[in-house]
Amino acid sequence: MTGPLENVKVVELGLWLAGPACAAILADWGAEVIKVEPPAGDPFRGYAYMFGGDDNPPFELDNRGKRSVAVDLRTPEGRQVGLDLVADADVFVTNYRPGGLERLGFDWPTLQRHNPRLVYASVTGYGLAGPDQDRASYDLGAYWSRAGVAAALTVDGQPLPYQRGGMGDHNAGLAAAGGISAALFARERSGRGQLVSTSLLREGLFTLSFDLSIGCRFGVGVQKADRRKMPNASINAYQDSEQRWF
């Protein structure tokens, strides 16, 4: 489809949600997206069994507007196919772990040498530095749990709330799409690509940045929300005489 990213070629090496969500947004904006999958396919395809084996709405949502090719990047022939796709690409999107990408030869330093104009977008669980850089994580672990989103939404003495599917993944994918757009704009001036990164943990912390900014400034924790003690009546929930909530 046409859009601001028309004629921008994107190669996605992604699975499950966060990386593919980013590439789907780029496709919405007009980019040509080629999804590179292993021979067995993106494991997210397996969700089809939940819907009778024929349809997979969540997978279709995050892989809309793309073309797909199955390539075994662990073989010399497959790796060359992948490198040929990247050679004239504008953007490379991945949410594979950094260590695995390095073993495959699809890490940032390698692909930068292969294509200096490439914008390389990495979406991870915990960032590209530190002891957890290669730790696998879904958004339930890094975004919802470790970043503290679940705890911040839990009233003392009550059970933890349940996270709906893909909440942190979609936030991270949207953030990566924004970073890619900025990097493409910068490339128009410099002629060179750059590394763009975000993580599920980082997006969880950004979700809580209202609380964190207060805590960092005043050194105190923010009181957890309790509808019985809300200081601002306009952001509370109420139950009417017929037991309906509004």
Annotated catalytic sites, by residue? 169
Closest Cα partner for 122 from 142, 147, 101?
101
Closest Cα partner for 90 from 27, 198, 184?
184
Q: Spell out the SS3 assignment of 150-187.
A: HHHCCCCCCCCCCCCCCHHHHHHHHHHHHHHHHHHHHH
Report residue 144 as tokens: 């919802």
Each as own residue / partner, the long-range contacts of residues 203-207 (CB below 8 Å, 24 or more positions apart, any chain) are 203/143, 203/147, 203/168, 203/171, 203/172, 203/175, 204/142, 204/143, 204/144, 204/146, 204/147, 204/148, 204/149, 204/168, 205/147, 205/148, 206/171, 206/175, 207/143, 207/147, 207/149, 207/171
Neighbours of 76 (CB within 10 A): 9
